[in-house]
Amino acid sequence: MAKIIISAFLCLAMFGSLAQAAAGACREANGTAPVSGSCDAYIECKNGVAEEKLCPDGLLYNEKSTGYPCGYPIDVECAQGQSRLQSAQPTDECPHQFGYYRMGDASHCGQFMNCASGRGFVFDCPEGLAWNPATYKCDWPDQVEDCDAEAFLGFRCPALAPKSDLLGEQEEDYTFHPSPDNCQVYFICIEGRPRRIGCGEDQAFNQELKQCDDIDNVPNCSSDIRAKGAEIKAARASAAAGRRKQN
């Protein structure tokens, strides 16, 4: 009988210490808290009762969030030293259950995949832009660390002729170059790396002005491009005339 009483007492003491430890993990009665040494685990407290939980694969615990406590790695500052993460749960489409991932190699930087619950959804950046995994945005390819801007855009910036200090010539920060294939496209070379710029449908790159101009002022456009530009301008003029009549 004495043994039973002692065992019961020990069980109560153990239960009490565990409950006290769980309650100690709660800084507030309701909320979340980080788990030491982990970036994707967290403590959820409800009415002072603590329960350890794990973010979905690919997401990290965001201590600053006021809503759902898990977020993409770019939005989370995990200060846990030697942090551990759960094992990846890849699928045929995705390396993790959730996340954004660039597709292609250094010469094909314009596509990315959004993974949600292991399903991959492919998106294209606007033409001339590359997916930047450091910002989760489409960016100039020369701003993306592992993107070969020249190979991606199919344009190599020409070497600049050296300037003469004696004549007071200054180095140019950037240069303008027409596309060899399309009069409505040009490239800006910044520190030897290109950026692709497209003009409007009824405009083309004017090499003298170094900017987009009315397509009628650019003689090197093909007849097809000029005809398309004329159609667009005529349609705009007709629409403007219709609005004036309504007013």
- Predicted confidence at residue 9, as pLDDT, reads 38
Per-residue confidence of the chain (247 residues) as pLDDT tens digits? 444 443 433 333 333 333 343 444 687 888 999 888 899 999 999 998 999 999 999 999 998 888 999 999 999 988 665 578 899 999 999 999 999 999 999 999 999 999 999 999 999 999 999 999 999 999 999 999 999 999 999 999 998 766 655 555 555 678 999 999 999 999 999 988 999 999 988 999 999 999 999 999 998 898 888 888 888 888 887 887 778 787 6
**Tell me, what's the pLDDT at 10?**
37
pLDDT of residue 82: 57
What pLDDT does 244 receive? 79
Strands of the sheet containing 174-178, edge to edge, are 174-178, 185-190, 193-198
Q: How far apart are CA 221 and CA 214, in angstroms?
A: 11
Asked if the structure places residue 169 within a domain, the reply is no
Phi, psi of 5 (to 5 degrees): -65, -45
Q: Cα(34)–Cα(83) distance, rounded to whole angstroms?
A: 11
Domain-located, residue 32: yes
Q: Is 126 inside a domain boundary?
A: yes
Which of these three, 55, 87, 119, is where a domain ends? 87
Q: Cβ-count burial of 185 within 10 angstroms (0-12 exposed, 13-18 middle, 19+ buried)? A: buried
Residues 84-89: contacts with CB under 8 Å, at least 24 apart: 84/37, 84/38, 84/39, 85/38, 85/39, 85/40, 86/40, 86/41, 86/54, 86/57, 88/57, 88/58, 89/57, 89/118
Q: How far apart are CA 56 and CA 195, in angstroms?
A: 37
Task: Let me know if residue 94 belongs to a domain.
Answer: no
Phi, psi of 99 (to 5 degrees): 140, 170
8 Å CB contact between 102 and 114:
no
The per-residue pLDDT for 171 is 57
Phi, psi values for residue 206, rounded to 5°: -95, 110
- Is position 184 within any domain? yes
pTM for this predicted structure: 0.76
CATH number (domain holding residue 210): 2.170.140
For residue 175, the cross-strand partners are 189
Q: Which residue range is the domain that position 178 belongs to?
A: 174-243
Q: How far apart are CA 19 and CA 29, in angstroms?
A: 14
Domain count for the chain? 3
Q: Do 123 and 113 meet the contact criterion of CB atoms below 8 Å apart?
A: yes
Pairing of strands 130-132, 70-71: unpaired
* Cβ 184 vs Cβ 204: under 8 Å: yes
Residues 178 and 207 in one domain: yes
Residue 121 lies in a domain: yes
